[in-house]
Structures are given as C-alpha cells and as structure tokens.
Amino acid sequence: MKNEWPLWEVFIRGKHGTSHRHFGSLHAPDAEMAIKNARDVYTRRNEGVSIWVVEAEHISASAPSDKGPLYEPSNAKVYRHPSFFDIPDDVGAM
Amino acid sequence: MYAQVVESTGKSVKSPEEMSEKERAFQARIDAGEKIEPKDWMPDDYRKTLIRQIGQHAHSEVVGQLPEGNWITRAPTLERKAILLAKVQDEAGHGLYLYCAAETLGVSRDDLTEQLLSGRMKYSSIFNYPTLTWADMGAVGWLVDGAAIMNQVPLQRTSFGPYSRAMIRVCKEESFHQRQGYDIMMKMANGTPAQKAMAQDALNRLWYPSLMMFGPSDKNSVHSAQSMAWKIKIDSNDGLRQRFVDQTVPQAEYLGLTIPDDNLRLDEETGHYEFSQPDWSEFNDVLRGNGPCNTERLNARNKAWNDGAWVRDGLMAHAAKKAAAKIAAE
C-alpha cells in the first residue's frame, strides 16, 4: 500500500447568502476529483450550492493548549462589547 | 453493534485515584458533556478503542453494500432499482464519513483498508448472511437498518467530536433506509400468497441475526464498562436489543407476519416483550469467520481493491502530470 490519495477538507455553502462551512473530509488525487467526490459524498440531498476543497496539509490550526494565552487577552477588554456603555433611555434606540 | 465486539485495551474502569492528573481532567471534560476533538490530549486507550470501534463501524457500512448490491440488477422495477441504488450509495457515504472520523485519530485510510482486507479488523456479523430473495431487501432495510438506527441515534451524543458529527449525518439519512425496507415488506405482505410467504421467509432468516447485531449479552460483554465511562458507548447491548424488539414486534403484526419465536410474549406489567436470545454459539462462529458468506464478502472486497489499483495509481499519475505542466507553464 503506497501512493495514498491525499486528504482534502470540504467546505460547503448551504444556500445562497450563507458562508461556507466545514462539512468533512475525503481522499482524492487532485482538486478537481476532490470536488466531484465531495458532490457525491456530501451533497446527495441538496445540502449545498457551492463547494470549496483544500488539501488538509495546507491548513494551519491553533493548538488546543493555546486556548488560554490565545483568547484570554480579549476577555479582559469588556469595553469591546456595546453593553459596556450606559446610554440614557432618553437618547432613544442606539 | 455495527461495532459488535470492540476489544478495549483497558482492563476495568479506572477509579479517579488510579488516574493521572491528565486522565482525571480528561474524564471530567467527558462527564461535563464536552466533546473531545482530534488535537486534544486523550489517553492512549481511548484513542485505540475508538479507532477499533469507528473502524469496525466504517467497515460494516462498506461491506454492508454487498448483500444489497446483490439485488440491484434484479430489482423488480426501475423505480425499485433506482431506490436501492441510492440506498447502497448512502452506505458507501456512511463508510466514508466514518473512515474520515477514524483518520483524525492518526490512522491512515490505507491502513484501515488493509486491516479489513487481511481480516484483522472485523465488520458486523449481519453482513455474513446471504440475501436470497427480493424480500430480503425489505427485511434488511426494515430490521438491519432499524437495528442500526437504534444504536446510532444515541451515538450522536458520543464524546468524540468527529464521531458524533458523522453519526448525526448518518442518522439523517438512515430513516430513508428503514422506510424503504418497510415499504417493500408492506408490498410483499399484501401481495400474492407466494409473495407473502417470501416476506415471512425473509423475516424468519433475518430475525435472529438482527438481534445479534447488538452484540453479546451485557454479562458477557467484557469491554463495555470503560467505553461507557468514556461515552463512546452510550447504551447497554441488552437495553438496545430490548428496545428493538419492543419497537419491531408491532410492526411485524401490522404486516401480518409472525416473529419466529414461540416464547415471544408481551409482559403487561413492564410493557416489554419477553423473547428468545439468538444462538450465541452461531454468533461467535460467524465472528470467527465461519458464517455463510464471510469468505465471499472478504473476497469481494479484496477483488474490488485489487482491481481498482490501476485506477487509483492512474489518477495519481495524471494529477502529478497536470501539476507539473502547470508549473512549467508559469
């Protein structure tokens, strides 16, 4: 067993106006076949209107152990949320 | 069930005192209902057990195409043929979702395939029984897919994220399978006496093998406890089997067919049916490779893999050639 087809990650736009969402992965020799296979594997029942594929090895991901240091700084910045500011009711909708 | 006898590597469930700090934190996440994702730390045994379980499940979906594929060219009408084709294609899809989930644990697709083809990894015993008549297509959809749903619905809540997501997709599609099977059974049961007899014969042959799908009785199921603590197994084998019988008996009555069990009886107090256990020595024999179709199934998978080698290699060569031409043109 050698020469295994590379792994592709599949992203599908469910319907017009929504963004592509990760759906799953599959093996294919190239991008063209990956899209054809994704059509057969992931959209047999009208699940999508557009397919993206990208070779899995080209995806970089944050490590689960980075969760703290990576996201902690923004947790301290509560003023990023609109609810931080008290606006009098008299001002009306804002 | 599609993974009937998953040998766990752990002996018994570890108590919190026996666990390392990492293991305790891991178990706490599972107890809190959190999903474990591929890059998260996990105990080696959790990883190994899951690879076996998801692998067996995937192999079952793939080998499960064979007994039904057997009838595609002989379906009684063009519509039935198209429906069966779609159903078998779904099974291939289910196998692929599951292989992908297993691969996130660090095992390669070719490695899993090789373990199936060499017989080192198992698939569900049910697919080692033959499909002798068209009524078997009805009984397989109704009983086998019905049993599969029973097992897969709770697995949507399993602790491993990719497995859970694969199960959610599978369950969405599975109900079509069971209903198309029952639809065939209704047609046959309401047909000519010969057709009804054929439906009854299919039920007679597939009833006990379907009960076996849930795996050995809990008291003989040595690997369950740790898997349940890890939430990669949600319900007990006997519990699922009981639920299946309770659901299926009224469906058989509606068809006017008889479950082949003289001991079948509704316990008015509990609301559950009492029923005969399948022949567990037959079950063990089929798992050991001595079922009616074990050799045929593995030969068919090996032939498909070997005959397809030139296609896999050819497409890789073509992709490499195209990539090289693109670079040259730039």
Tokens at residue A46, please?
A: 């009208």
B34 touches chain A (CB under 8 A): no
**Phi and psi at residue A51, in whole multiples of 5°?**
-125, 135
- CB contact at 8 A, B89 and A37: no
Partners of residue A61 in chain B, C-beta under 8 Å? 39
Residue B18: pLDDT band (50, 70, 90) is confident
Per the structure, the complete domain to which residue A13 belongs is given by 7-86
| pLDDT at residue B9 is higher than 70 | no
How far apart are the C-alpha atoms of B100 and B112, rounded to whole Å? 11
Size of interface A-B (CB pairs under 8 A): 54
Q: Check residue B60 and give its pLDDT.
A: 97
3-state secondary structure of B6: coil
Is B110 in Cβ contact with A4 (below 8 Å)? yes
In a domain, A1, yes or no: no
- CB contact at 8 A, A29 and A38: no
Q: What is the ipTM of this complex?
A: 0.85
B304 touches chain A (CB under 8 A): no
B26 touches chain A (CB under 8 A): no
In a domain, A24, yes or no: yes
How far apart are the C-alpha atoms of B308 and B97, rounded to whole Å? 21
Q: What is the pLDDT of residues B161-211, one digit of tens each?
A: 999 999 999 998 988 999 999 999 999 999 999 999 999 999 999 999 999
How far apart are the C-alpha atoms of B103 and B106, rounded to whole Å? 5
3-state secondary structure of B36: strand
Q: Check residue A1 and give its pLDDT.
A: 44
Q: What is the CATH number of the domain that holds A77?
A: 3.10.20.520
In a domain, A28, yes or no: yes
**Phi and psi at residue A39, in whole multiples of 5°?**
-60, -45
Give how many domains chain A has, as a whole number: 1
Evaluated on CA atoms B220, B217, B136, B83, the torsion sign reads negative
Tokens at residue B188, please?
A: 């046959």
Q: What is the pLDDT of residues B36-75, one digit of tens each?
A: 999 899 999 999 999 999 999 999 999 999 999 999 999 9
Residues 6+ apart with CB under 8 A from B219: none
Q: Check residue A16 and give its pLDDT.
A: 80
In a domain, A94, yes or no: no
In total, chain A counts a number of residues equal to 94
| pLDDT at residue B2 is higher than 90 | no
In a domain, A36, yes or no: yes
Q: Which helix (H) or strand (E) holds A23?
A: strand A20-27
What's the distance, Cα to Cα, between the start and end of chain A in Å?
64
Is A44 in Cβ contact with B90 (below 8 Å)? yes
In a domain, A92, yes or no: no
In a domain, A91, yes or no: no
Which strands form A7-13's sheet, in the order they lie side by side?
A20-27, A7-13, A50-55
User: Distance from A65 to chain B by nearest Cα, in Å?
Assistant: 8
**Phi and psi at residue B10, in whole multiples of 5°?**
-75, 155
What 3 state SS string does B81-128 have? Answer: HHHHHHHHHHHHHHHHHHHHHHHCCCCCHHHHHHHHHCCCCCCCHHHH
Q: What is the pLDDT of residues A34-80, one digit of tens each?
A: 999 999 999 998 889 999 999 999 999 887 777 777 888 777 888 99
In a domain, A71, yes or no: yes
